[in-house]
Structure 1
Amino acid sequence: MAQGTRPEAVAKKTWCVPKLNDEFCERMEDVLEQYEKPLDPNEPVVCLDEQPYQRVDDARPPEPAAPGKIAKQDYEYRRCGTCSVFVAVEPKAGKRFVQAKRHRKRADFARFVRDLLKRYPDAERVHLVMDNLNTHNEKSLIETFGEEAARPMLERIVWHFTPKHASWLNMAEIEISAIQRQCLGRRLASLDKVQSELSHCSRDRNRKKIKINWTFHRKDAKRVFPELYRK
């Protein structure tokens, strides 16, 4: 797992303790199997997640820096509503795709997946790793585009879901954390401004081909969760 995070620590910090049952084991092993595959442009493994973001603006105009004078910003701010940041990352290729949307409804998810698939025109299948949000399914694409238009997209998608209350297995969370630190830790009032910052940040990270070094494998799962393997 990247950035020095140990799976044992993440599992213990989870607010909702996951049920360590057969379903947990099956889904965990399925996700970890995808991460252990070598890079394959024909069947890329892409992690997807979304995060709410609070848009805010300055309550009073900030004072810019000048010779002999530091920049000043009032601690008070004005709330401008929320939006959702959708992130998809292909960890081994160092590629990511990011969009800001007003909501995270079925249509928002469906359109993000449609745009994501366009970035892999030559891939036969795209393996999507995500959590169990009720919009993360075929129904979202069918309701948004209609069954006839959605079918070609669905035929290219292989769904892989993390266990319930174990979203730390989704590497998209690592990418979201990095993006938040790099470009979202400031006051952004409009959706366009949020998208502009996200686009600039993701282009820079793609240019540098920043990858995620995932070090938690199936053999580690047997050590961390021995109760799942006693059978």
Structure 2
Amino acid sequence: MARTGRPKVELVLSEDERAALEGWVRRRSTPQAWALRCRIILECASGASNKDVAERLGSTPHAVGRWRARFVEHRIAGLGDMPRPGGPRTVTDEQVAELVAKTLERTPKDATHWSTRSMARETGLSQSTVSRVWRAFGLQPHRAETFKLSTDPYFVDKVHDVVGLYLDPPERALVFCVDEKSQIQALDRSQPVLPMMPGVPQRMTADYVRHGTTTLFAALEVATGKVIGSLHRRHRAEEFKKFLLRLDKEVPEGLDVHLVLDNYATHKTPAIKTWLVSHPRFHLHFTPTGSSWLNLVERWFAELTNKQIRRGVHKSVQALEADIRDWIATWNTDPKPYVWTKTADEILNRLAGYLKRIPDSEH
């Protein structure tokens, strides 16, 4: 039976076009969206159907058909923004490719990153043209984000262990995310805070007076979002042991206690190990080194900081601690658990994708 439906547009590549597309696909610095369009065209040129290409590349038949048609009509230029009504183009594909390559692979002599003005001087294009090309390719040289790769030799095992607790907690047990927020400062502004008014935000002086610090030990119950907190003036294994004793009193007997925590030295002292031996229902699960993002209580600490500490004014450590206790009590009247959704395999696969983009990651 003959196939029905709209026939696909025949696509034939010249040697130069194929070389350019394959070069962009191989280049690590090529934007992912542009690389995907290049792969689509290369697959289509092999004679594959839109449906087959979409399945291979994780796209949709509609998107594949659109890029196929655009390439047939406009060639490589069709993989970018469609031509708009107006005068003829004054910027060639070669100039666009050169601009993108310089943005990704070079830096100016007098700066760490390009600006539209410096790139315009470098390429001889107008500043507005540079801006339009950067927007089309999703390039933002002025921005930089931070990241940190764990060097823990047991990284994979620890990720599976902690994420397994989140997604499939053991029966007759409670899972807590535990950490310490140390050196919380009681800060008083050197001059009175000016209240917010219509059209004017709250204003406070940039300088402040320090009145001491405190440390918050916190355990976030994964299932309910409730928090058990304890404030101490020092941050030692002795204080951590006192916090464990409090958890032991507050968790009903007959339930095991699984704690997700980091590799801080106070969590592994001989005194703590001895205490754990005498309290066998406690089980410690350590996150990989340098992977605090895996501990859900860090997200709760961020809320505490943003909503209570950062703009708070405290004339004493006692006042700071009172506000923290009140905030925890208010939180526990309507706790909101943080729901973990990613599996360990999904996390590790995404990390592997990032590592492929780093030339000398050695991972």
Check whether TM > 0.5. yes
The residue number in structure 1 matching 2:174 is: 44
Shift of 1:43: 0.7
Assess, with a 3 A threshold, how the Cα gap between structure 1 residues 74 and 225 changes in structure 2: closer, same or farther.
closer
Give me the whole-angstrom Cα distance separating, in 1, the residues matched to 2:206 and 2:146: 31
One-letter code of the match for 1:112? F
The residue number in structure 2 matching 1:114 is: 245
Give me the whole-angstrom Cα distance separating, in 1, the residues matched to 2:325 and 2:276: 29
Q: 1:19 aligns with which of 143, 151, 156?
A: 151
Identity within the alignment, %: 25
Q: 1:201 aligns with which of 324, 327, 339?
A: 327
Q: Deviations over 1:50-107 (max 9, x none)?
A: 1221221233455789xxxx98754432112222122210122121112222111111
Number of residue equivalences: 205
Give me the whole-angstrom Cα distance separating, in 1, the residues matched to 2:278 and 2:293: 27
The aligned runs of 1:56-95 (5 Å cut-off) are: 56-60=187-191, 73-95=204-226
The aligned runs of 1:1-231 (5 Å cut-off) are: 13-15=146-148, 17-19=149-151, 21=153, 23-38=154-169, 42-52=172-182, 53-60=184-191, 73-137=204-268, 139-141=270-272, 150=275, 154-185=279-310, 186-226=312-352
Give me the whole-angstrom Cα distance separating, in 1, the residues matched to 2:202 and 2:337: 35
Q: Secondary structure at the match of 1:225?
A: helix
Give me the whole-angstrom Cα distance separating, in 2, the residues matched to 1:35 and 1:217: 9
Stretches of structure 2 that go unaligned for 5 or more consecutive residues are: 1-144, 356-363
Shift of 1:188: 2.4
User: Runs of 4+ in structure 1 displaced over 6 angstroms?
Assistant: none
Q: Secondary structure at the match of 2:265?
A: coil
Give me the whole-angstrom Cα distance separating, in 1, the residues matched to 2:202 and 2:350: 49
Greater percentage in strand: 1
One-letter code of the match for 1:197? D
Shift of 1:125: 1.2
Compare 95-104 and 51-60 and name the one that shifted more: 51-60
Which structure has the greater CA radius of gyration? 2
Give me the whole-angstrom Cα distance separating, in 2, the residues matched to 1:220 and 1:72: 44
Assess, with a 3 A threshold, how the Cα gap between structure 1 residues 151 and 33 changes in structure 2: closer, same or farther.
closer
Shift of 1:224: 1.6
TM score, norm. by length of structure 1: 0.76
Compare 187-196 and 97-106 and name the one that shifted more: 187-196
Shift of 1:184: 1.3
Select the structure with the greater relative contact order (CA < 8 A; seq sep ≥ 6).
1
One-letter code of the match for 1:45? V
Shift of 1:195: 2.2
Greater percentage in helix: 2
Work out whether residues 83 and 102 of structure 1, in 8 Å CA contact, stay in contact via their aligned partners in 2: yes
